[in-house]
Amino acid sequence: MNILSFLKPKKKRTLSENDLNANLDRHYRIATESLVSLRDIGVEEEDELKIDYFFFSDTVEKAQILETEMKNMDFIVNYGTASHDKSLFVISGRTKKIRMMHESLSKWVTDMCQLGHKYDCTFDSWKIVSK
């Protein structure tokens, strides 16, 4: 144990509770719109599809921790430097199959937003892989 560890500057959180709530609202709206679009193309509630997802982090350490968590959920995942901003890291991958019903998709959105917030990473976007 490092006796002087208290002298190290603590990494400041970049995401607040307000950020989490705003992100939840945004992704719930996207989930509802996505389900309506899926119904229009014949995807029903009992159908299961995979989802591609994307998070952003401001440090490689946070990206690595989130990557480990996603692997523990049996998701395909990797991370790297964001192409549009070299000071950010993108964590991306694909889920296992998820039922395309409101309850299961809302739960997944909640889990992803909360997981991102837990590790101070932004759950940025996702796309349902429709076959």
CATH of the domain at 31: 3.30.70.970
- Does the pLDDT at position 10 exceed 90? no
Cβ-count burial 61-91 (b if 16+ within 10 Å, e if not):
ebbebbbebbeeeebebebeebeeeeeebbb
Q: Is position 56 within any domain?
A: yes
Does residue 118 lie within any of the structural domains? Answer: yes
Q: Would 58 be classed as within a structural domain?
A: yes
In the prediction, which pLDDT does 8 show? 46
Torsion on CA atoms 53, 114, 19, 12, rounded to nearest 10: -100
Residues pairing with 41 in the sheet: none
Residue 124 lies in a domain: yes
pLDDT digits (tens, 9 = 90+) for 64-106: 999 999 999 999 999 999 998 999 999 999 999 999 999 999 9
Residue 99 lies in a domain: yes
Residue 116 lies in a domain: yes
Burial class (CB in 10 A: 0-12, 13-18, 19+), 6: exposed
Q: How confident is the model at residue 5 (pLDDT cuts 50, 70, 90)?
A: very low
Residue 104 located in a structural domain:
yes
